[in-house]
Amino acid sequence: MKKKFLLSLLSGGLALSAFAQAPLSLPFVAKDTLYATTDFTHSNTVQAKVLFSADLNYVINLETGDSALAKGNHDFTGYLPINGSSSYGYIIVNHEITNTRNDILGDGGGMTVFEVQKDANGEWQTLGSYKNVDFTGVGDDFSHTRTAQIALGKALFFDPVLSGNQERSCASCHKPEQGFSDARVRSDNFTSDATLGRNTPSLLNVAFQQSFFWDGRVSSLEEQVKDVTLNPSELHGNFDTAALRLKNSAAYRALFEAAFPNSRYAQINGAAIQKAIAAYERSLIALNSPFDQYMRGSLNALPKKAEQGFNLFMGKALCSTCHFFPLFNGTVPPHYRKTENEVLGLASSAQNKTLDQDSGKYLISLTPLHIRSFKTSGLRNLSQTAPYMHNGAYPDLKSVIEFYNRGGGQAFHFEVENQTLPADSLGLNMQEVEALVSFLECLNDTSTKFQIPSQLPAIPGTSDRRKLGGAY
């Protein structure tokens, strides 16, 4: 069974190892090795020291004037406070390329940013860390400044400062605890007097996608950020207005300078905001599911029913003809440079009584072939992202599978002449449906945690209105 399972999987294309890197991992150094500390390039910083241990538990102490050098390395650490605080801020570690370090870390140098805060006992705790990653195939060069951009993007993502009323943020609809979706059929619009037209898609693993939104109307995350920010139904924002607010914040000015050193983006503008939030979104990688663990050699990670479900996925159930390994979305192998859209003939509800009237990609292309055409979404972390489909009409996986098992919209006598889904029944019995669900549940990565900031950078005159993550 295992051999058949692996053969079936490998026929899907690209090796999983290319996507299995951990982007938010702690730098690994020899136990109790202490690296150099020095002032960071901001006037309001203090000296710091960072102690890493081999078991990946680590202690951070901030002691003004304390400095040490070990192993002949040239790693420099500085503390950048948020809101001028002596108990909450960032540790920035710049790693120079050395043979010793490269042997230990397996990287080529770069930067790591640690978000730290003192607890009630006065001990420093780490809220999160951001490390350089070589995203092979993404087409984006992660330079030494990329992690500082991630830290800035994270603050902006959870800050309603970009919205027209300073009450709504990206996190209003993309919640970490919901796989960066929102567990609603459709989110409220900006004025809360109606809902948006489509279900909120997850942002997990968007670094590996080639198009964005259900209709695939943009091809970069920077464009996605711009679209949402300016959309009057979503954030209803204005980049020039937001930039003026951010320039009024000493904390944000420091974050922009760290993220975009010696660059026009450090002056704070719409393009810099887009780049920073896109950098944060690219860091949202969750690829440590039981399925991934199985593929790395942990053969007990998948139950037998899930193995059966995978073979159904790749075979009888025809799922893999649209949801391609290893991300199980519409990004097409072998080069993974194109994203497919499909016409399924979805119903307006899980009762499959009436055809959904959303014209999909046709509204962008005005090509009849694209009527009711939607991007093939990913199947990872589905336990966090229900309800499903572009209209949020299907509350659970069994209702989705039943729609496919029957043959899509045409099987329910909907007039969908351009349906790309075969209209004949898959013939799955209840045990096979349950096996498919078991496999899909094994694509959930519950071990990767994404921490939210503990507070927002101060902006004079806005603190009373801005709520972390947005008010609604």
What's the pLDDT score for residue 226?
A: 96
- 213 within domain boundaries: yes
In sequence order, the 6+-apart residues with CB closer than 8 A to the CB of 271 are 222, 265
Residues 405 and 428 in one domain: yes
Residues 42 and 93 in one domain: yes
Residues 358 and 431 in one domain: yes
Residues 229 and 264 in one domain: yes
Residue 151 near residue 116, CB atoms below 8 Å: no
Residues 437 and 338 in one domain: yes
* Rounded CA Rg of the chain: 24
- 158 within domain boundaries: yes
- 360 within domain boundaries: yes
CATH number at residue 396: 1.10.760.10
Residues 42 and 127 in one domain: yes
Residues 299 and 433 in one domain: yes
Number of folded domains in the chain? Answer: 3
What's the pLDDT score for residue 337?
A: 82
Taking the C-alpha atoms of residue 418 and residue 371, their distance in angstroms, rounded to an integer, is 8
- Distance, CA of 99 to chain centre: 33
Residues 194 and 116 in one domain: no
- 170 within domain boundaries: yes
Domain boundary among 253, 282, 311: 282
Residues 432 and 295 in one domain: yes
What's the pLDDT score for residue 10?
A: 35
- 43 within domain boundaries: yes
Residue 49 near residue 34, CB atoms below 8 Å: yes
Domain boundary among 86, 103, 132: 132
Residues 319 and 263 in one domain: no
Taking the C-alpha atoms of residue 220 and residue 228, their distance in angstroms, rounded to an integer, is 13
pTM over 0.95: no
Residue 246 near residue 256, CB atoms below 8 Å: yes
Residues 182 and 260 in one domain: yes
**Enclosing domain of residue 346:** 290-441
- 71 within domain boundaries: yes
Q: Is the peptide bond between 81 and the residue preceding it cis, with omega within 30 degrees of 0?
A: no
Domain boundary among 252, 282, 312: 282
Residues 117 and 164 in one domain: no
3-state secondary structure the chain: CHHHHHHHHHCCCCCHHHHCCCCCCCCCCCCCEECCCCCCCCCCCEECEEEECCCCCEEEECCCCCCCCCCCCCCEEEEEECCCCCCEEEEEEEECCCHHHHHHHCCCCEEEEEEEEECCCCCEEEEEEEECCCCCCCCCCCCCCHHHHHHHHHHHHCCHHHCCCCCCCHHHCCEHHHCCECCCCCCECCCCCCECCCCCCCCCCHHHCCCECCCCCECCHHHHHHHHHHCCCCCCCCHHHHHHHHHCCHHHHHHHHHHCCCCHHHHCCHHHHHHHHHHHHHCCCCCCCHHHHHHCCCCCCCCHHHHHHHHHHHCCCCHHHCCECCCCECECCCCCCCECEEECCCECCCCCCCECCCCECHHHHCCHHHCCEEECCCCCCHHHCCCECCCCCECCHHHHHHHHHHCCHHHHCCCCCCCCCCCCCCCCCHHHHHHHHHHHHCCCCCCCCCCCCCCCCCCCCCCCCCCCCCCC
Per-residue pLDDT of the chain (472 residues; tens, 9 = 90+): 333 333 333 333 322 222 232 222 222 222 222 222 222 222 222 223 333 322 222 233 333 222 222 222 323 344 555 555 667 766 555 443 333 322 222 333 344 555 667 778 776 666 655 444 232 222 333 344 578 899 999 999 999 999 999 999 999 999 999 999 999 999 999 999 999 999 999 999 999 898 999 999 998 999 999 999 999 999 999 999 999 999 999 999 999 998 988 787 888 999 999 999 999 999 999 999 999 999 988 989 999 999 999 999 999 999 999 999 999 999 998 888 889 999 999 999 999 999 999 999 999 999 999 999 999 999 999 999 999 999 999 999 999 999 999 999 999 999 999 999 999 999 999 999 999 999 999 999 988 889 899 999 999 887 677 999 999 9
- 139 within domain boundaries: no
- 2 within domain boundaries: no
